[in-house]
């Protein structure tokens, strides 16, 4: 509708509409927050806070609109009084000299000069804070929302109501007296779009496609952050724009981006009005703007045609392969394109799908470790969620039962006795599966989600192998053997080998090549890790005592055997001495007795000389002739050691001459 003057408009209509819309905005935000808490949807909660933040804008718009209405009514009253005065008679109440008495106009001027910039800063802080606190929990895994259909109807109703009120208040804001409603009405239109997106996300949740809800949960806070940044830029640029007398003030929280949602004049016209307001002159009347307004259509058409022609080229990088589909069906030949430049029909006739087939990818199976844990202990939680595999225990390691199990008294007569409960164990850890895509066609078309399928196959083979393996062996020396077995088993499962055809891929092959499988961090569950360490410590202590006993036995038994052999040898030697030496001694004594009887003096002299010889054999000797009569003092160093048999001779004096 055409812009009307203050006299032609009911001034209180905009104020009444603002009060009603404020109440609806608060009620819609409360209902949305309640639905979000009941459903557990992050997207619904983000939109609920998006709606509640609009209450602040409507409060500011209501106050601004009321002050503007009072100023307009005051001006109309002053004009009516001035027109009804019979003639000038000096300064009057509403003459320029009495302009300071127009309190409503002065309050509006002060409000627009000081309060609106401060209020814009408050709005920026609120939107930025809401965006920050909504983005923080988005990285954590959450369950899918509950009751999608009732929540769909709830948010669809909110979108419908906010759209009607947003369009109505936006229409009111096109008139100059009701312009303060423009910022809040634009924001309400964004609420309508956000609520509609949440309702569509709940429809996707109903069909078990939760990705839409996660996308909307990201889109809403990011959009709030973008609007907050735009308002901040408008606030900074508004501080430096030239002031034009009589020009209408446009606050920074009146978003130009959101204003495009409520106007039908197009993006160019909205941009032109923004530039006119910012620079203080008619930018839309310059030759460059008019040239761009005429040439924008052909330029956009040229860009669209150019982009469409660029889809005829397919650039495959080194290490990649590409498959071209024509109307959703692979081209004849089932040949993947190698690295290089290739031609195809433009989109949407043909589309190319590339994949780095030469890149070795890693698939983590089992325990998903926390990223902020550089190392971990068995007894401390270090995984995002619990994971455990059932392992077997070999029969030779099971303790023999001390007594047979008692028969169940409730069992019927003739029923077999209870079977012993098998002994099993739990083990947890991480398996890293390294693979690359060998057959891109099979990888792309044989399964809807080949990576999920490969992950499921890896879990199946890992569970099967663990169920047939011993806990301690898998934890210890058989880990490398287990990795090799899992590599071969996963490869056979991925190739969909048929019975009797080893090495031949089946019709449901994944088209991947398993490079290696690594088992790391195998350990008992955290809940029983401390008890397991105590058991292992007892085993180690038992083994240490066994080996200490074996070492003691190995040192004591040979020593005892040696001492026994020595004692036997000495006894045998002693017996030999008694048997052979005693007769010889007896014979020697008889011979000596016969010699003594023949020459007693000679026998005694010889025996005396023999005794002296044996006694003085190792002694040091000093020989002094008997004819020397000189008194001498001999000094002998008894500490000096002489070789055995070496004597000391000294010619003491020699004055007496030779012996007579």
Residue 45 has pLDDT above 80, yes or no: yes
Confidence of residue 482 (pLDDT cuts 50, 70, 90): confident
Confidence of residue 650 (pLDDT cuts 50, 70, 90): very low
* DSSP letters for 505-546: --TT---EEEEEEEEEEEE--HHHHHHHHHHHHHHHHHHHHH
How long a stretch of residues is the chain?
660
Is the pLDDT higher at 527 or at 164?
164
Residue 651 has pLDDT above 60, yes or no: no
Confidence of residue 394 (pLDDT cuts 50, 70, 90): low
Q: What tokens appear for 514 in the block? A: 């398993």
Q: What tokens appear for 652 in the block? A: 């003491």
Is the pLDDT higher at 500 or at 240?
240
Residue 26 has pLDDT above 90, yes or no: yes
Residue 617 has pLDDT above 60, yes or no: yes
* DSSP letters for 335-351: --B-SEEEE-PPTTTEE
* Averaged pLDDT of the chain: 78
Cα distance between residue 393 and residue 469, in whole Å: 7
Coil, strand or helix at 27: helix
CA dist list (Å): 131 to 123, 215, 217, 224: 12, 15, 11, 6
**Rounded mean pLDDT of 156-185?**
86
**Rounded mean pLDDT of 337-348?**
87
Is the pLDDT higher at 287 or at 60?
60
Q: At what angle do helices 42-84 and 103-110 cross, to 10 degrees?
A: 150
Q: How many helices (H) and strands (E) does the chain have?
A: 16, 11
Confidence of residue 273 (pLDDT cuts 50, 70, 90): low
pLDDT for the residue 96: 45
Residue 3 has pLDDT above 70, yes or no: no
pLDDT for the residue 577: 79
Residue 485 has pLDDT above 50, yes or no: yes
Q: Which of 9-18, 290-299, 418-427 is most confident?
A: 9-18
Confidence of residue 396 (pLDDT cuts 50, 70, 90): very low
CB 21 within 8 A of CB 184: yes
Q: What are phi and psi of 324, to 5 degrees?
A: -100, 130
Q: Say which residues have a Cβ less than 8 Å from residue 404's Cβ, sequence separation at least 6.
A: 417
pTM of full prediction above 0.85: no
Residue 252 has pLDDT above 70, yes or no: yes
Q: Say which residues have a Cβ less than 8 Å from residue 45's Cβ, sequence separation at least 6.
A: 33, 36, 37, 134
Residue 289 has pLDDT above 70, yes or no: no
pLDDT for the residue 34: 92
CB 392 within 8 A of CB 470: yes
Is the pLDDT higher at 286 or at 245?
286
**Of the candidate ranges 164-178, 234-248, 360-374, the one whose mean pLDDT is the lowest:** 234-248
Confidence of residue 374 (pLDDT cuts 50, 70, 90): low
CA dist list (Å): 216 to 43, 135, 166, 211, 642: 6, 11, 21, 9, 111
Residue 463 has pLDDT above 70, yes or no: yes
CA dist list (Å): 590 to 577, 585, 597, 647: 19, 9, 11, 36
**Rounded mean pLDDT of 523-540?**
78
pLDDT for the residue 23: 92
pLDDT for the residue 97: 44
- How does pLDDT run across 90-120, given as a tens digit for each residue? 444 444 444 445 687 888 888 888 888 888 8
Q: Tokens 């047939």 — which residue? A: 468
pLDDT for the residue 95: 47
Among the listed residues 361, 565, 572, 549, the one whose alpha carbon sits nearest the alpha carbon of residue 450: 361
**Rounded mean pLDDT of 490-515?**
79
Q: Are strands 622-623 and 424-437 parallel, antiparallel or unpaired?
A: unpaired
Burial class of residue 55 (count of CB atoms within 10 Å of its CB; 0-12, 13-18, 19+):
middle
pLDDT for the residue 435: 92
Q: Which of 249-263, 418-432, 436-450, 461-475 is most confident?
A: 436-450
CA dist list (Å): 638 to 263, 633, 642, 643: 132, 15, 10, 13
DSSP type of residue 262: T
* Portion of the chain with pLDDT greater than 70, in percent: 74
Peptide bond into 348 cis (omega under 30): yes
Residue 406 has pLDDT above 60, yes or no: no
pLDDT for the residue 644: 54
Cα distance between residue 264 and residue 270, in whole Å: 9
Confidence of residue 654 (pLDDT cuts 50, 70, 90): very low
Q: What tokens appear for 252 in the block? A: 């920074």
DSSP type of residue 496: T
**E strand or H helix at 208:** none
Reading phi first (left if > 0) and then psi (alpha if -120 to 50, else beta), residue 501 is in beta
């Amino acid at each position: 509708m055409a812009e009307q003057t203050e006299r032609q408009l009911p001034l209180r209509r905009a104020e009444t509409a603002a009060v009603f819309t404020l109440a609806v905005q608060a009620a819609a935000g409360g209902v949305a927050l309640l639905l979000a808490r009941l459903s557990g949807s992050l997207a619904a909660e983000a939109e609920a806070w998006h709606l509640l933040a609009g209450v602040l804008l409507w409060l500011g718009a209501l106050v601004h609109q009321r002050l503007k209405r009072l100023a307009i009514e005051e001006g109309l009253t002053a004009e009516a009084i001035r027109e009804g005065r019979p003639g000038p008679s000096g300064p009057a109440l509403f003459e320029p000299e009495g302009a300071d008495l127009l309190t409503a106009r002065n309050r509006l001027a002060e409000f627009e000069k000081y309060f609106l910039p401060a209020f814009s800063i408050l709005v920026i802080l609120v939107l930025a804070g809401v965006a920050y606190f909504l983005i923080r929990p988005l990285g954590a895994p959450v369950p899918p929302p509950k009751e999608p259909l009732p929540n769909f109807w709830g948010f669809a109703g909110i979108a419908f109501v906010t759209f009607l009120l947003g369009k109505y208040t936006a229409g009111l804001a096109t008139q100059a007296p009701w312009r303060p409603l423009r910022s809040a009405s634009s924001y309400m239109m964004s609420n309508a779009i956000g609520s509609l997106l949440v309702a569509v996300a709940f429809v996707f949740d109903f069909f078990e496609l939760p990705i839409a809800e996660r996308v909307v949960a990201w889109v809403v806070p990011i959009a709030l952050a973008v609007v907050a940044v735009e308002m901040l830029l408008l606030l900074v640029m508004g501080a430096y724009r030239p002031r034009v007398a009589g020009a209408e003030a446009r606050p920074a929280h009146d978003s130009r981006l959101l204003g495009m949602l409520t106007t039908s004049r197009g993006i160019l016209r909205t941009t032109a009005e923004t530039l006119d307001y910012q620079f203080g002159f008619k930018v839309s009347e310059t030759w460059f703007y008019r040239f761009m307004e005429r040439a924008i259509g052909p330029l956009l058409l040229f860009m669209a045609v150019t982009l469409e022609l660029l889809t005829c080229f397919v650039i495959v990088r080194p290490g990649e392969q590409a498959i071209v589909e024509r109307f959703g069906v692979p081209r004849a030949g089932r040949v993947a394109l190698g690295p290089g430049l290739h031609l195809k029909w433009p989109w949407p006739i043909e589309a190319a799908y590339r994949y780095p087939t030469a890149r070795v990818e890693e698939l983590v199976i089992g325990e998903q470790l926390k990223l902020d844990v550089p190392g971990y202990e068995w007894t401390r939680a270090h995984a995002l969620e619990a994971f455990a595999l059932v392992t077997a225990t070999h029969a030779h390691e099971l303790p023999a039962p001390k007594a047979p199990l008692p028969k169940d008294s409730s069992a019927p007569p003739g029923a077999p006795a209870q079977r012993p409960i098998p002994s099993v164990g739990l083990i947890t850890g991480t398996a890293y599966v390294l693979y690359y895509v060998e057959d891109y066609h099979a990888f792309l078309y044989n399964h809807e989600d080949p990576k999920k399928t490969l992950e499921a196959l890896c879990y199946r083979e890992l569970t099967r192998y663990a169920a047939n393996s011993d806990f301690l062996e898998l934890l210890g020396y058989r880990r490398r053997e287990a990795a090799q077995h899992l590599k071969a088993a996963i490869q056979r499962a991925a190739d969909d080998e048929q019975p009797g055809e080893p090495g031949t891929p089946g019709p449901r092959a994944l088209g991947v090549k398993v490079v290696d499988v690594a088992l790391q961090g195998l350990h008992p569950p955290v809940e029983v890790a401390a008890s397991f360490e105590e058991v292992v410590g007892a085993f180690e202590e038992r083994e240490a005592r066994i080996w200490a006993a074996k070492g003691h036995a190995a040192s004591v038994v040979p020593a005892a055997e040696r001492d026994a052999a020595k004692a036997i040898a000495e006894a045998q030697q002693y017996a030999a001495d008694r048997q052979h030496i005693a007769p010889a001694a007896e014979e020697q004594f008889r011979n000596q007795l016969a010699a003594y009887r023949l020459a007693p003096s000679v026998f005694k002299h010889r025996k005396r000389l023999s005794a002296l010889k044996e006694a003085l054999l190792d002694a040091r000797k000093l020989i002094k002739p008997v004819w020397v009569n000189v008194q001498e003092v001999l000094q002998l160093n008894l500490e000096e050691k002489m070789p055995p048999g070496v004597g000391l001779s000294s010619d003491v004096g020699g004055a007496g001459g030779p012996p007579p």
